[in-house]
Amino acid sequence: MPELPEVETTLRGISKKILNKEISSFISREKKLRWIIPPTIGKRVKGQRINNAFRRGKYIIFELDNCSLIIHLGMSGKLRVFNKKMKPKKHEHWDLNFTDNWTLRYTDIRKFGVLDLTLKNPLEHKLLKDLGPEPLGNSFNGIYLFEKSRKKSIAVKQFIMNAKIVVGVGNIYANEALFMAGIKPIKKAGKVTKKEYENLSTKIVKVLKDAIHEGGTTLKDYSNAEEAPGYFKKKLQVYGRGNLECFICRKNLKEIRLGNRSTVYCVSCQN
């Protein structure tokens, strides 16, 4: 599933090729992804320019002259820029064509992605308005997590994965950040101390920045349809390593299901 680092990497990759370009047409080969693709998009976007492209959580937003497009990659979505002459393949559901040689093409095998259009402030859109702060932004820190978590009995891992608390901390990153911070994923969020949250917040930022850095090197060619996203697998310390040796103490890592998500931790290094 594309997580915040993949979405950020995607955005950085496509931005150079689409910003300030005029849209010549929108073509959809599918009526519905997760939800119906608004049938008016084609008429609305024609002749407009993409003035700004940014990320909010795992959403990508394009600000045009008088509307905005909101995109989510769902479980398997990819956005890539192709030469217009390249014929669409199976699972390539929509194209945003520009007046030059390029098209922005959306591929999604599982069709769980989102494309919507809004005439209002995109940040007020129903999908975006309740999102918590950006983990790489200024309002996210240990004190924020500490204050939000008081009296909460939910596990700290589920707490940091809640997009209303902080966006973009997916399962891999939650596992890794909690290991790096030495905090057991099953510990109640309300029992984690201020000092532990300060440590955890810096580790969340570190793991996301590292992943963006790796994503940036793995996904550098956006016109190559075969390029696979590479999650910096070689660096993962706990995720996907249940029952293998902890890199620090060499005891076997424990794997459990927490909120139906794979959760791996070290019983001796994490308290």
Q: Residues in the site for Zn ion, rule: CB under 5 A?
A: 246, 248-249, 266, 268-269
Tell the smallest beta-carbon distance from residue 180 to Zn ion (Å).
12
Tell me whether residue 244 or residue 248 sits nearer to Zn ion (CB atom): 248
Name the β-bridge partners of 254: 265
Tell me whether residue 51 or residue 268 sits nearer to Zn ion (CB atom): 268
Residue of 2, 5, 122, 135 marked catalytic? 2
Name the β-bridge partners of 270: none
Tell the smallest beta-carbon distance from residue 225 to Zn ion (Å).
41
Side by side, which strands form the sheet with 23-28?
23-28, 92-98, 102-108, 77-83
Q: Is 2 a catalytic residue?
A: yes
Tell me whether residue 167 or residue 269 sits nearer to Zn ion (CB atom): 269
Q: Is 261 a catalytic residue?
A: yes
Q: Is 8 a catalytic residue?
A: no
Report the candidate in 156, 238, 172 with the shortest Cα–Cα distance to residue 4. 172
Tell me whether residue 138 or residue 271 sits nearer to Zn ion (CB atom): 271
Tell the smallest beta-carbon distance from residue 251 to Zn ion (Å).
5
Tell the smallest beta-carbon distance from residue 248 to Zn ion (Å).
4
Residue of 3, 176, 196, 214 marked catalytic? 3
Rounded to 5°, the CA angle 226-232-235 comes to 150
Q: Is 150 a catalytic residue?
A: no
Q: Which long-range contacts (CB under 8 A, 24 or more apart) does 236-239 make?
A: 236/172, 236/176, 237/176, 237/179, 237/180, 238/175, 238/176, 238/179, 238/264, 238/265, 238/266, 239/171, 239/172, 239/175, 239/176, 239/264
Residues sharing a CB contact under 8 Å with residue 135, sequence separation 6 or more, in sequence order? 4, 166, 167, 168, 169, 204, 205, 208
Tell the smallest beta-carbon distance from residue 200 to Zn ion (Å).
17
Residue of 49, 58, 241, 254 marked catalytic? 58
Asked whether the beta carbons of 216 and 12 are under 8 A apart, the reply is yes
Tell me whether residue 54 or residue 247 sits nearer to Zn ion (CB atom): 247
Query: Could you give the residue numbers annotated as active site?
Result: 2-3, 58, 261
